[in-house]
Amino acid sequence: MPQLPPLVDTRILRPAETALALKLLSRIELLRLKTIARLHARGLPPDVGWEDLLQEALTRVLVGARRPPEGVTLVAFLAGIMRSLKSEHWRRARGRAAVPEALELDRPRDRSRAIELPDPSPDPERSLVAQQELIAIEQRFSDDAIALNILAGLGEGLSAEEIRAAYRISKTDYDSARKRMRRRMLREGLTWSPEWE
């Protein structure tokens, strides 16, 4: 008796493969999204990987939970979804953490009108992550004195002009160092903030 081909395709396609098959994305757009997902996954716990962010964003579009507005490219829309997923993760993580102590103002007798201000200091986990990222950045630029001076100035909240004046850096040297820093950070998967410009 001849074998009949199966009536149902039993392969399991990931959302990225489905998006490619439906021609919603090109391979280049998928590569861009992978890079964006890697940037958004930095600092998240190990159980939340960049692939998870990308697949979840694609799933939400494929099932219709999120619909892209007109005039917005799918890559930009998916990048926004991944940013939202990252924010959502941190919001849930903060909610699970112990509620920080609140300050009471004037201790009113009527407790319904009490005003509570949360403690603005970062929690230990965020402080540790920030400290580790700063150490990693400083190590990457340990061979570049101008870059280290720029990082120190940025850490003190100085503007570009103030950094150049404080460390006696010419505008050309400052701009060249800034470009070197941006290229190295992007090449190594670190994010570059536009406010560093």
Element (H, E) at 5: none
- Domain assignment of residue 9, yes or no: no
Give domain status of residue 2, yes or no. no
pTM: 0.43
Tell me whether residue 148 is exposed, middle or buried, using C-beta atoms within 10 angstroms of its C-beta: 0 to 12, 13 to 18, 19 or more. middle
Mean pLDDT for the stretch of residues 85-99: 73
CA dist., res. 88 & res. 95, Å (int)? 10
- Span 150-164, mean pLDDT? 85
pLDDT value for 152: 84
Rounded to the nearest integer, the mean pLDDT of the chain is 76
Query: For helices 145-155 and 171-187, what crossing angle results, to 10°?
Result: 90
Q: What is the pLDDT of residue 195?
A: 47
Same domain, 20 and 87: yes
Question: How many independent structural domains does the chain possess?
Answer: 2
Looking at the structure, do residues 92 and 141 belong to the same domain, yes or no? no
Within-domain flag for 184: yes
pLDDT band at 174 (very low <50, low <70, confident <90, very high): very high
Residue 101 dihedral angles phi and psi, to the nearest 5°:
-65, 145
In a domain, 146, yes or no: yes
DSSP codes joined into one string, 75-106: HHHHHHHHHHHHHHHHHHHHHHSPPPPEEESS
Cα–Cα distance between 140 and 98 in angstroms, integer?
A: 35
Cβ count within 10 A of residue 125:
13
| Domain around 67 | 15-96
Residue 118 DSSP SS3: strand
User: What confidence tens digit (pLDDT) does each residue in 32-80 have?
Assistant: 888 888 888 887 777 778 888 888 888 888 787 888 888 888 888 888 8
> What is the predicted pLDDT for the residue at 30?
81
If asked whether residues 130 and 80 sit together in one domain, one would say no
**Are 126 and 54 found together in one domain?**
no
Taking the C-alpha atoms of residue 167 and residue 96, their distance in angstroms, rounded to an integer, is 44
Are residues 90 and 137 both part of a single domain?
no
Residue 38 confidence (pLDDT)? 86
In a domain, 183, yes or no: yes
Reading the block at residue 72, the tokens are 């917005």
pLDDT for residue 176: 92
Supply 69's token pair.
Answer: 């507005």
Q: Which amino acid is present at 10?
A: T
Q: 62, 96, 130 — which closes off a domain?
A: 96
The CA distances from residue 130 to 23, 122, 160, 172, in Å, are: 40, 10, 22, 30
Is residue 48 assigned to a domain?
A: yes
- pLDDT of residue 131 exceeding 80, the answer is no
